[in-house]
Every structure is written in structure tokens, then in C-alpha cells.
Structure 1
Amino acid sequence: MKLNLRLSTNGKLTVLKYLVAALLVMIIGSIIILSQGNSPAEAFKALGVGAFGSVSAIGTTIRWATPSIITGISAVIAFKSGIWNVGIEGQMYFGAFVSAVVGYQLLMPRGVHIVVCLLVAGLSGMIFSFIPAILKLLLDVNELISTLMLNYAALLFTEYLTFKYMGFDASELADAIATPDMQPTARLSVLLPRTSATTAIFIAIGIAILVHLLYKYTVKGYELKMVGENLKFSKFGGVNYKSTFLTIFLLSGFIAGMCGGTEMMGTFGKFRPGFATNLGWDGVMIASIAKNNPIAVIFISFIWGALKSGSFHMERVTETNRLVISVLQALFVLLVAIDYEALYKWFCDQKQLRMLRKQESGVQ
């Protein structure tokens, strides 16, 4: 009974922290918008209309929520085990490129073609994630640095591959560099007519649920989580650290690669260098807000998608720059990440220390 009460209290405190963070973000956002000479009420109204005001707006929200869920789950797998894989965007680029090539080169039945494109996308991301994993295991290279640097390598290398092997001349404009259109059999179905929302959203939700079940009900999931929570205990408990570390990295890379595949098979239909607008970093921030909870990632990703969808409409109909929303998103992550309990305890300790010093000085 006490345990349930404690969990309930912790849950209420978490919800309260999110509400306070959201309120502070809205206040700060209003101040920023006012400083630009614009109306916060008009900006926030336009934000809501752009996110949920029409079928097209809802479709755009779903479109942006989809990659946010998948990259968020990729980050959860790594962070939950204490591994800093911030190379999700690079792994996504490789998955996207290979998926686009397979999508236009091979002729297959629709169902088979979609599955094959998803698998090769995941495997490509997994292979690329193998590089920082091996660097960490064999040479003890910090994975935060290696994955961060490999993002740039992936972006430039996939651009080179597209530029080199797709028959484009060096004089072509950068926007013209792209792979040919994928076969119709490799494309995912449109979810809402005349919108960019596709059935990729079901793939994203399915991945999140499977990862949730993996961690909650399987021995392997317990081992993956234990490595992050207590490395020394996991070693004494018989967990093969090197094998588990490699599994975590490869699984995270596989899901990141699948995100690239769904982007090609859904919205884009071809690989174009620079297609991802910080989707990997969105996943990192969403995983941080969700406290590495796969189910929470789903709900937060829809909010994230709504903010992104609404920000485009807000910029069109008001004079407020949509980058204001990006700033507020980052600020929200920062406010949620603060350990308020530890901060409160520190202030109490400082207050008590000052009182003790006063008492000591009074006695003297």
C-alpha cells in the first residue's frame, strides 16, 4: 500500500513539474513574442489552428509526430542503458538512402517491397551504428563524441553517394540532387487524403509498443536496462557487458535507420541530401522529456508534431518567426530536466547551514 502511495505521489509531482514547465514556457514565449512587437494571443491561436484547425493541419501534425516517435524510441533504447547515442540522425540518413535505392531499383509485390525497404533501412542504420560501438569497446572512444562527429560524416557521405552514382553533374543545383522516385509498390499509403500523413504512424506506434514490452516483460530487456542503471551490479549479476552494449547500440541504430526508411517511403518518395530537419535531435529531446518511457514518447511526440505543424502556420499568418517555437521546445526540455527535488534540498541545506552558523556566532 505504501509503495502504491509513493508511486502515486511521484506521478503527481511529475505531472506538476510538466505543468509548471509548460506554464513557464508560455510566459517566456509571450515575452519573446511581445519583444518582437507581435501579439502572443494571435500567435498562440495561429499555433493551435495550424496544429488541429483542419484535416490538413491534423495530417501535418501526424506527419511530424511519426519520425519524432521513431527517433525518440531510438534514443530511449540508448539512454535507458546509459549509452549516449547522439548519432541517430546519421544512422537515419544511411537508412533513408539505402531504402530509397532499394525502393526504386527492385520490383516486388507491394507488401514484400515495403517490408524489404524497412529491413534494409534498419540494417543500414545498424551497420553505421556499429562503428562507434566498436570504437568504444576496442579503443574506449567516448560514444558521445564519435556519434556526434559521425552525423556529419553520414550527411556528407550520403550526399556524395547520391551525387556520384545517381548520374548528376557537378554543375547541378544542390536541390536537384536526389535519387529517382521510388516504385509505387515501395510507398506507404496516405492516411488522410491530400495530406502528408501516412500509415508510417502505425509503424512508429508499433515500434514504441514493442520496445515497451521488451523492457517490461523480457529477460533481455531487463539486462539492457540493468546495464544503464547499475553497471557494476549487472557485471556481478552475470550480464555480458560487451555483448549487451553492442546489442543496445545496434538496436538503437536499427530503429534510427527505420525512421529514415519510413521518411522515404512515406513523405518524400526519394532521397534528397539534407532532408532531415533535426529529426534526430528531436528524438533526443523527446526521450529526455519522456524520461526514457516508450509510451510517454508517443504522447509527447504528438505534442511535438503539433508544435512543429502549428509553427509553420503561425509564421504564415502572423509576423512571429517559427524559430521562436524551436527555442521554446528547447527551453521546455531544459526546465523538465532540472531536478527540482535536489534543488529544493540544496536550498534547505543552505538555509540550515546559515542557521547553524548564526547559532555558533551567537554562542561565541
Structure 2
Amino acid sequence: MSKDKKEKFFSYSLIRPLSNEKWQPISIPLVSILISFIAAAVVILLIGKNPIQAFYNLFQGAGILPKPSYAGYKSMVTDFLSLLNAMTPLVFASLAVAVAFKAGLFNIGVSGQMLVSGFLATIIVGYSGLDAVIAKPLVLLVGMVAGGLIGGLVGWLKYKFNINEVVTTIMLNYIAQYVISFFIQMFYIDPVSRQSQYISEAARLTLVNVEIANLKMDIPLGFILAIITAILVKFVMDKTVVGFEMKAVGSNRNAAKYAGINVGRNTVLAMVMSGGLAGLAGVTYYLGHFSSIQPKVLSSLGFDSIAVSLLGNSHPIGVIFSSFLVSIIDQGSTYMSSQAGIRQEISSVIIGLILLVSACGEYLKFKVRRLKEKEVDRKERES
């Protein structure tokens, strides 16, 4: 194929669907997902399995499609609610990463902030015996404040001493992991599960085994809050002075400073917001999706949130949909493994491919822009 023909091919296959900049925040992630699933299908074919059947089983396991049969008190509805329960902390964690991204910061310490928030909420509220009406809102408040304080510390160190936030958050992850593990094993260990003692049902943010219409459901109370929070974050970023200043700092710190924007204050504020959202992720994870904490373990969800945020183009509404997709892959992997005979690790491969392709989003924008310019030049020469 000649060079001109190649350029024409890429022009019609890439430029036409991706050239509209208004729709690029949607079209580019969709292309990323499509490429990722095609690559995953190739991997599944290479191990001798049917990718269509595998993906069908994946959606069945996540509660998107019906299974042939269900255990007692279970149905597609209960599977879907379990999906939303797992998705809730992921939305909060991904919003935490997205807010930091907007301010030009990389919060890789979401897992540590989740752990600290979850632990403090557990020992302050989870073991307190408070009534549910008081306990549940207090859990959210403790988580948000604890995460915000850690995020604020990271932002202050960045502003005051120019300590890279990636280094700070990674170190704080390790500190949180081992210090909290010490306290759990010394004071709060459950001798049977070897995890922290289970919290009271009054403090838990998921209503477990609620019987409705002869079905036992897990109802995530934090899900609606996660959606509202995403909308609120979008409003703050798009419609307020605070959001404008944070995005200006993220785009160009020197230009923002020259324009009179307080770079230090916005750096700290962005990390406080990011940490607060990570704290909400922590309490909906450790006191919602689960009801105890495993010592010496950082949740992988804090790291998955980076991929989810990238896939959602760091857009709060995009984060909701990307969280939904990644949760489907994660929740459906067990059923896919049992039905299609494919190892669960394939789901991690798919998520990894999504992250890899999503990270190339800016390159896709650049390539589309260049091809678009060449297309305009070619038409001008022809005319």
C-alpha cells in the first residue's frame, strides 16, 4: 500500500469518527475500549477459547445478562446490585484521581488514604454501638475528614518543600499499610478470620441480605451518594472559580501564578478534595462492600482507579461509566472462569489493556489532529 493510500485509509478510518473535538472525550474512550476488547479477544483465541462466549459469560456473571439458573434467593437483580456495591468505592476512588489530575497532580496514594479512612471509621464508629441513624452519616464524615487531612498533608509538602506527590503518597501507602496492620493484629484481630473484627450492622454502608420479593439483596447505600458526588465535582470544576483556578494550575503552574492565582493554596485544596474522595472510597469499601480490614494488604482498587480515571478522560461523568465497565469485568470474571474455562487473570489482562490504550488517548488526539491537517491540505491542493 502506497503512502498516499495509507494516509487516505487512516483519514477515513480515524479522522471521520474522531475529528469532532466536542465528542472526543466520549469517542476516544470508546475507541480505547473497542481496541482493548479486540486485543483481549485475540488473547482468548490464542489460548483456544471462544471470545464471544467468554464475554457473554462475563456479562452474565456481572448481572447484565441472565444466567441459565440461580441459587436460592438469587437472581439477575441480586447480581446487578452486587455489581453496584462493588462499583461504589471505585467511583469515589476514580474521582479522587481525576480531581488531582485536573490540578496537575498524581494521587497514587488512594489505597493508603482509603485504608486510613476505613480503619479510623471502623474503630471510631464501627465498634461504637451507635444507632444506624447516627452511625452511617458519621462513618462518611470520619472517612472524608481523614482522607482530606492526608491529602492536605501531601499537597502542603508539595507546595512548601516541592516534594513530589508521587513519592509522598507511595511512602504514605507503606506507612499506612504497616502501622494499621500493627494495630489490627495487636488490638482488633478476629481470631477466626485473621482480619479486623467485624463492624456492627448499624455502621455498615451496605444493607446485607435484605429480603424483598423472595430475593436476598445487598443494597449499597453509598451508590446514590457516589453519583451525586460525581455531578457535584463536575459542577465545581466547570462552574466555580475554585474549579477554574485548579484547572489553570494543572494546565500551567507558571502561567497561573503570573495571572495572580494562588498556586500553593490550589495545590493543597486539590489534594484535600482528592483525599476526601479517597476517604469516601475507603469507608464504602471497608464498611460497605466489606465489613472488616485485612492486615498488611492495600486494596488494588486504589490502583485500578487510575485506569478508570484515564478511561473516563478524568471527567466526573466519564468516571461513572468507566467505573461501571471495569466493575463488570472484575465482577464477571469468576463466572467467566467457571463457565468458559478461562482463568480469572484474563480480566486483569483486559483491564491492563484498557489502561494501556487509554494512556495513548493524547497520542490519538495528536494523530487525529495531524491527519485532519493533512486532509485539509490535500483538499486545498486538489481544488
Task: Confirm whether residue 186 of structure 1 aligns to residue 203 of structure 2.
Answer: yes
Task: Confirm whether residue 176 of structure 1 aligns to residue 194 of structure 2.
Answer: yes
Task: Confirm whether residue 105 of structure 1 aligns to residue 132 of structure 2.
Answer: no
Cα distance in 2, alignment partners of residues 330 and 100 from structure 1? 32
Task: Confirm whether residue 10 of structure 1 aligns to residue 34 of structure 2.
Answer: no
Sort the Cα spacing of 1:31 and 1:95 in 2 relative to 1 into closer, same or farther, 3 A.
Answer: same
1:128, 1:253 within 8 Å by CA — same for their partners in 2?
yes
Q: 2:31 aligns with which of 9, 17, 20?
A: 20
Q: 2:337 aligns with which of 315, 318, 321?
A: 315
- The structural deviation recorded for 1:231 is 1.5
* Structure 2: runs of 5+ lacking an equivalent: 1-17, 67-75, 375-383
Q: 2:324 aligns with which of 290, 298, 302?
A: 302
The aligned counterpart of 1:342 is 366
* Structure 1: runs of 5+ lacking an equivalent: 1-6, 351-364
Sort the Cα spacing of 1:18 and 1:249 in 2 relative to 1 into closer, same or farther, 3 A.
Answer: closer
- The structural deviation recorded for 1:274 is 5.6
Cα distance in 1, alignment partners of residues 229 and 77 from structure 2? 25
The aligned counterpart of 1:39 is 50
Q: Which amino acid aligns with 1:69?
A: V
The aligned counterpart of 1:361 is none
Stretch moving more, 267-276 or 123-132: 267-276
Sort the Cα spacing of 1:252 and 1:279 in 2 relative to 1 into closer, same or farther, 3 A.
Answer: same
- The structural deviation recorded for 1:211 is 0.8
- The structural deviation recorded for 1:249 is 1.0
Sort the Cα spacing of 1:19 and 1:117 in 2 relative to 1 into closer, same or farther, 3 A.
Answer: closer
Cα distance in 2, alignment partners of residues 19 and 105 from structure 1? 44
Count residues with an aligned counterpart. 339
Sort the Cα spacing of 1:167 and 1:198 in 2 relative to 1 into closer, same or farther, 3 A.
Answer: closer
Residues 176-208 of structure 1: CA deviation (Å, up to 9, x unaligned) = 131x33233212353875344411111211211
Cα distance in 2, alignment partners of residues 229 and 182 from structure 1? 43
Give the TM-score of the pair, scaled to structure 1: 0.85
Sort the Cα spacing of 1:346 and 1:221 in 2 relative to 1 into closer, same or farther, 3 A.
Answer: closer
The aligned counterpart of 2:103 is 81
1:61, 1:308 within 8 Å by CA — same for their partners in 2?
no
Sort the Cα spacing of 1:150 and 1:238 in 2 relative to 1 into closer, same or farther, 3 A.
Answer: same
Stretch moving more, 18-27 or 91-100: 18-27
> Quick one: percent identity of the two aligned structures?
26
Q: Secondary structure at the match of 1:190?
A: strand
1:94, 1:154 within 8 Å by CA — same for their partners in 2?
yes
1:211, 1:294 within 8 Å by CA — same for their partners in 2?
yes
Sort the Cα spacing of 1:273 and 1:138 in 2 relative to 1 into closer, same or farther, 3 A.
Answer: same
Cα distance in 1, alignment partners of residues 121 and 19 from structure 2? 44
1:196, 1:267 within 8 Å by CA — same for their partners in 2?
no
Stretch moving more, 7-16 or 85-94: 7-16
Sort the Cα spacing of 1:277 and 1:346 in 2 relative to 1 into closer, same or farther, 3 A.
Answer: same
The aligned counterpart of 1:198 is 220
RMSD of equivalent CA atoms: 2.6
Q: 2:149 aligns with which of 127, 151, 155?
A: 127
Q: Secondary structure at the match of 2:306?
A: helix
Cα distance in 1, alignment partners of residues 251 and 24 from structure 2? 22
1:59, 1:195 within 8 Å by CA — same for their partners in 2?
yes
Task: Confirm whether residue 147 of structure 1 aligns to residue 164 of structure 2.
Answer: no
Residues 293-324 of structure 1: CA deviation (Å, up to 9, x unaligned) = 11111111111111111112111222111211
Cα distance in 2, alignment partners of residues 156 and 98 from structure 1? 15
2:204, 2:291 within 8 Å by CA — same for their partners in 1?
yes
Sort the Cα spacing of 1:181 and 1:106 in 2 relative to 1 into closer, same or farther, 3 A.
Answer: same
1:92, 1:125 within 8 Å by CA — same for their partners in 2?
yes
- The structural deviation recorded for 1:130 is 3.6
- The structural deviation recorded for 1:87 is 0.4
1:50, 1:312 within 8 Å by CA — same for their partners in 2?
yes
Residues 146-171 of structure 1: CA deviation (Å, up to 9, x unaligned) = 21232222222211111122267xxx
The aligned counterpart of 1:354 is none
Residues 212-238 of structure 1: CA deviation (Å, up to 9, x unaligned) = 111122211221221112212321222
The aligned counterpart of 1:360 is none
Stretch moving more, 52-61 or 279-288: 52-61
Stretch moving more, 306-315 or 73-82: 306-315
Task: Confirm whether residue 219 of structure 1 aligns to residue 241 of structure 2.
Answer: yes
- The structural deviation recorded for 1:70 is 0.4
The aligned counterpart of 2:287 is 265
Task: Confirm whether residue 50 of structure 1 aligns to residue 68 of structure 2.
Answer: no
